[in-house]
Each structure stands twice: as structure tokens, then as C-alpha cells.
Amino acid sequence: MQQLQAAFTDMIQQHERLVYKVCHLYAADAEDARDLFQEIVLQAWSGYQRYRGDAAIGTWLYRVALNTAITHKRKKRKYHSAQLPDMTAIQMADELDSADAEAYKLMHQMIGTLPPLDKALVLLYLEDRPHAEIADILGISISNVGTKLNRIKDRMRKQAQPLL
């Protein structure tokens, strides 16, 4: 049992940033993100012994994190536009000129208003995950990944055009 706990702890530590990204994208505020992180770890632990190795461990954890986050959001029954942590915005703003920084902020605000599945899809896409892996994580077909991404991009372009 101790070996299992050590392996689980190592897995969480290796993929901690991935889980935090999901938390901050789906949580209403910092406190909600911390609660969601704990909930994801709890769900991952309860399913860890049943992990069969069909997918990479990071892919499996991503799926657990997204499913838990979506369920968590539904339980809240309140719609909050998720915002990125302030540190990310500050770091990106330092690296971008003011026009690009504004476009970056707008893009993340728009992502925050997407339905849960679309938000997860965009998050995975922005991490340069291959379409096959995105399909596996979300439980949709590879062609559906491409189709949904194109539709989301088109919608976001149309929404952003008058604002830029």
C-alpha cells in the first residue's frame, strides 16, 4: 500500500501544473480552485488502483481532472466566468506588447465563457496536444475534435473582431 501511495504522489507531483490549469479554468475564484484541486486528487486516488494503463498516465489524469471539474461546475449551479490566475496574466503581459496583451486577455475571457466541453477542448488544443489524444481524453472522435475546434475558432474570431 505504501508503494502505491508513493507512486500516486509522484504522479500527482509530475502532473501538478496540468491539474492546476484545469482548476483555474473551471473554478470561480482561488478558493474554489483549491477545493477543486483537492476534489480532483481525491477522485484520482479513488480510481488510481483501477488504472489499467490503456492510456498514458497523464492522459488518464487529464480525463479525471476534466470530468471532475465539469461535475464540480455543474454542482455549483452558478455560472461564473472563469479567469486565469493573475500571475499568468502578469507574466504574459511582460512578454507581449500592449496590443497583444489585450488580445491575450480577451481570448482568455472568451475561453472562460465557453461551455465545459468546448473549454476543455480549447485548453487541450492550446497545450499542443495531438487531436488523437484530445479525442481520447474527451471521449469524442478525432474528426469531431477538428470540427469542434474550427467552429470554436470561427465563433471566437467573430466575437473578437469588433473588440480589437
Q: Domains plus CATH for the chain?
A: 1-80 (1.10.1740.10), 84-164 (1.10.10.10)
Take residue 7 and report the three cell numbers written for it: 507512486
Q: How far is it, in rounded angstroms, from Cα 65 to Cα 73?
A: 12
What is the DSSP-derived secondary structure letter of residue 128? T
pLDDT band at 82 (very low <50, low <70, confident <90, very high): very low
Please tell me the predicted confidence (pLDDT) of residue 91.
Answer: 45
Residue 141: which residues within 8 A CB-CB, separation 6 or more?
A: 135
Task: Record the pTM.
Answer: 0.64
Closest C-alpha to 102, from 153, 163, 145, 54? 163
Q: Amino acid identity, residue 24?
A: H
Q: Report pLDDT digits (tens) over 87-136.
A: 344 344 455 556 677 777 788 888 888 888 898 899 889 888 899 989 98
